[in-house]
Amino acid sequence: MDIRPLGLDPSHCLIGAEWIAPKSGQTLPLINPSDGTALCDIAAGDAEDINAAVASARAAFEGPWGRATAVERGRVLARIGQLVLEHKDELARLEALDVGKPYKQAMADVVALARYMEFYAGAADKLHGQTIPYLDGYTVYTLREPHGVTGHIIPWNYPMQIIGRSVGAALAVGNACVLKPAEEACLTALAFGELARRAGLPAGALNVVPGAGAQAGAALSAHEDVDHLSFTGSVGVGKLIQTSAAENIVPVTLELGGKSPQVVFEDADFDAALPFLVNAGIQNAGQTCSASSRILVHESRFDELLNAMSGRYTSLKAGPALDDLDVGPLVSQRQKQIVEGFIAKGGDLELAASGEIVGDAPEGGAYVAPRLFACHEPDHTLAQDEVFGPVQVVIPFRDEDHAVAIANGTRYGLVASCWTRDGARQMRLARKLRAGQVFLNNYGAGGGVELPFGGTGLSGHGREKGFEALYGFTSLKTVAAYHG
Ligand code: NAI
Ligand code: MG
């Protein structure tokens, strides 16, 4: 099977206008999680390659890319978006093989990547400063300026979507980027680099260096010539990135996942809620930062909802990504072990229902059957910690205050939703739920290019997506002119 993205050698890095082998000559194997076979070798970039990439980004920022007008930046992003759509089948297949996500879900990510390019193409020339009334004889105004070189360390769960929201916004406002994709899945990051090149993005405006986190990732986050860091991934590595950012006093955006609740009141439309409740837990095999892993339901309808969700769970099928079932494999055997460890910790809970791994799923694949647990202890590990697998718990609550206390009772705060027909309750919950996004009578795991996104608490800080991201990728300059 040809998995060379757009005909590229996947063991090369994009530095400046060139695809080149990492200086060390080292590679890492890329595994197909659907069957455990090796897909290809990727570059094991290290500090030397990161240095070259940062230097190339700096030169682009000081050179043609830094001088490009907002209109020119918008046009090149629009061309990238067009190319993404022209290559959508190839990109979806690469993402499906690499991440293990069912083909249809991978295709949705391709479309989201194109949408990010379209959105930020349109936004590039619409970021305005202000004029500020000041003392007599002064005119004061603000300029939104790019930081310079931005470092983007992204995970394996949604490579295309996270490239779109992070690199797309950074480029729109004129930063030059160094992208370090995850060692588990980086083929679409390579393809994106090539499409950007073909679209006419000036050399060095985007550099792509795959490699291990502890080498390429650590080198990028510690680099003294990087002006902003954006990271999506685990809390543990987020702390390391924030520490590196502190050393260099650079701003950092962290998106570290969550334990996002959906709160279902007794008056909710269960039929409307049901597909959202389950999909938000099993989409991408639960490996979604905004996965909804906790379903809170009023005690009067607990049994009814648990039964309805169980009905769905028993029909869920897990199998190879290209078979396009409900759930693919997890990204790796390592992730499978993490998730199985959590499932074992649920041994003292009632297992309400399981999905099924299809009989012909290859032995070497990283499959985990989806699990639904009933949970009467909101402090249980499965109700507190991010599992990052197809596992949900259903928790009863007594009344609104109790629901809010449970919903807000973890250290995370990324997304939450509230299902109720009571308008006043919707408004109260929207304010009380601790989360960067609150959905009322819907849930948008990973969706919404236009919607500012990010967390509080252990979920991180800073906002990506939507127009808001453009503020994070710029720094504000105030100009005070005295003219008498
Ligand atoms: P990770 O945080 O190690 O990986 C994310 C990215 O960080 C990858 O590109 C990796 O190469 C890089 N990285 C790793 N160590 C680094 C270091 N020392 N310096 C700089 N960059 C480094 O996440 P991992 O180990 O793949 O997954 C473990 C858990 O993290 C998951 O079970 C899940 O709970 C959470 N996670 C959350 C994500 C989210 O979307 N918020 C995405 C991926 C993982
Ligand atoms: Mg790790």
Which regions of the chain are under pLDDT 50?
none
What separation in Å is there between the alpha carbon of 183 and the centre of ligand 2?
10
Q: What is the pLDDT of residues 421-439, one digit of tens each?
A: 999 999 999 999 999 999 9
Please tell me the residue having the least CA distance from ligand 1 atom 37.
Answer: 233
Cβ–ligand 1 distance for 153 under 6 Å, the answer yes
35 neighbors 333 (Cβ within 8 angstroms) = no
Place of tokens 């099924």: 356
The pLDDT value recorded for residue 430 is 98
Q: Which has the closest alpha carbon to 183: 320, 6, 331? A: 331
The pLDDT value recorded for residue 447 is 75
The pLDDT value recorded for residue 66 is 97
Q: How large is the angle between the packed helices 187-198 and 70-86, nearest 10 degrees?
A: 120
Active site residues per annotation? 255, 289
C-alpha dihedral, 219 to 208 to 103 to 172, nearest 10°: 110
The pLDDT value recorded for residue 168 is 98
Q: Is the pTM of this model over 0.85?
A: yes
Place of tokens 């659907």: 34
The pLDDT value recorded for residue 56 is 98
The pLDDT value recorded for residue 3 is 82
Please tell me the residue having the least CA distance from ligand 1 atom 38.
Answer: 233
333 neighbors 378 (Cβ within 8 angstroms) = no
What is the rounded CA–CA span in Å between residue 290 and residue 260? 6
CA 416, 420, 425, 427 dihedral sign is positive
Ligand nearest to the CA of 215: 1
**Neighbouring C-beta atoms of residue 412, cutoff 10 Å:** 26
Cβ–ligand 1 distance for 332 under 6 Å, the answer no
Q: How large is the angle between the packed helices 400-407 and 423-432, nearest 10 degrees?
A: 30
114 neighbors 84 (Cβ within 8 angstroms) = yes
The pLDDT value recorded for residue 78 is 98
Q: Which atom of ligand 1 is nearest to 238's Cα?
A: 2
Q: What is the pLDDT of residues 12-26, one digit of tens each?
A: 999 999 999 999 999
Dihedrals phi, psi of 132, to nearest 5 degrees: -120, 120
If you ran DSSP here, which 8-state letter would residue 290 be given?
T
